[in-house]
Amino acid sequence: MLQYEKEFDPVVDDSAATGHRSGAGSESGYAADDEVYVFDDEQLVLAVNVALKTGRPLLLFGPPGSGKSSLAPNVARILGWKYYAHVVTARTEPEDLLWRFDAMKRLNDAQAKALSVNIEDYYARGPLWRAFEGGATHRCVVLIDEIDKADPDLPNSLLGPLGSLSFPLPWDDDSQVTVADEHAPLVVITTNDERELPRPFLRRCIVFELISPGKDHLLRVAEQHLGTHYDKELAGRIADHIIHIRGQRGDDPAGPSTAEYLDALKASHQLGVAPGTPEWAVLEAVTLRKRRDDSGRTS
């Protein structure tokens, strides 16, 4: 076990905040997806603590289903911090993470002769603005999801705000939105590695690569997620199917995700469909195999 002073300790903090996860969940006995994350990788926990102590963004690589997007909300839940997220698309502009100018609202107000004299009324605060602005009263975790889908200029455009923990107001360059170092948010950035990220950006991040979850990890997730409905024998058989499907694709790590595994497991349990039956072949096709081509991608 790695020994160091932890600001983020999922074992201590999560048990204190939520109680033992097994058996927890909704009225049906199942825990919500955003409440389940198994921190069984000590190196990942250390990476989160390094990001917290250095104030650097945590950049997560890894195949689909490895838990990249789920990490941030669970860290926020365990720490008791607020959580903001932005899913990046090909149309995302650098400013979208800071603010968005609502030109349509301003036009409508102008036509209705209700135009506000305060231009700031037409700026919507983005996740970083809200995290910086609220840092003094509540610390935050910010998720910037799938940054590799954006224009290559976007990652480098974040270097200024994340490095200085400040940025100028869009309507007043002399005024800054800023947050003190001790109130800085934890920024978690994910990438599917579809596009190479700029080297200057990588140098300013704490970088961690997640791997596809193995059988032991899947079983731990299933136990926490299903609670009293957990059937170790059934969970193990379906986990073996996940590993088998991945093995059919050789070195390609893409395959059924943890969420798809849980879908198959819950459906199998609730419908009484056992692996190896004709009904299971259909269930496996619609929950695990889907329309994946030989490369592991879903078409």
Identity at 102, one-letter amino acid code: D
Q: What is the pLDDT of residue 134?
A: 84
Separation between Cα atoms, residue 263 and residue 188, nearest integer Å: 26
Q: For position 23, what pLDDT does the model report?
A: 40
Q: What is the pLDDT of residue 270?
A: 92
Give the residues across from 41 on adjacent strands: none
Asked if residues 37 and 71 have their Cβ atoms less than 8 Å apart, the reply is yes
pLDDT for the residue 254: 60
* DSSP per-residue codes, 79-145: HT-EEEEEE--TT--GGGGTEEE-HHHHHHHHHTT---S-GGGGEEE-HHHHHHHHTTTS-EEEEEE
* Domains of the chain, residue spans: 10-209, 215-289
Residue 139 pLDDT? 93
Superfamily of segment(s) 10-209: P-loop containing nucleotide triphosphate hydrolases (3.40.50.300)
Query: Beta-strand (E) ranges in 179-279?
Result: 186-190, 206-209
Q: Are 175 and 169 spatial neighbours (Cβ–Cβ below 8 Å)? A: yes
Strand partners, 207: 59
Residue 84's pLDDT is what? 95
What Cα–Cα distance (Å) separates residue 177 from each residue in 131, 153, 181, 278? 10, 22, 13, 60
Contact 141, 78 (CB under 8 A): no
Please give the pLDDT value at position 299.
Answer: 43
Quickly list DSSP for 116-128: -S-GGGGEEE-HH
pLDDT at 22: 38
Give the Cβ contact number of residue 168 at 10 Å.
15
Residue 186: closest CA among 54, 43, 278: 54
Mean pLDDT, each 10-residue run in order, the chain (299 residues): 89 52 43 66 95 96 86 94 93 88 86 84 89 88 94 89 91 88 95 89 94 87 86 92 78 72 92 92 90 52
Helix (H, G, I), strand (E, B), or coil: what is residue 162? helix
| Nearby residues of 253 by Cβ (< 8 Å), 6 or more positions away | 63, 211, 212, 246, 296
pLDDT confidence of residue 42: 92
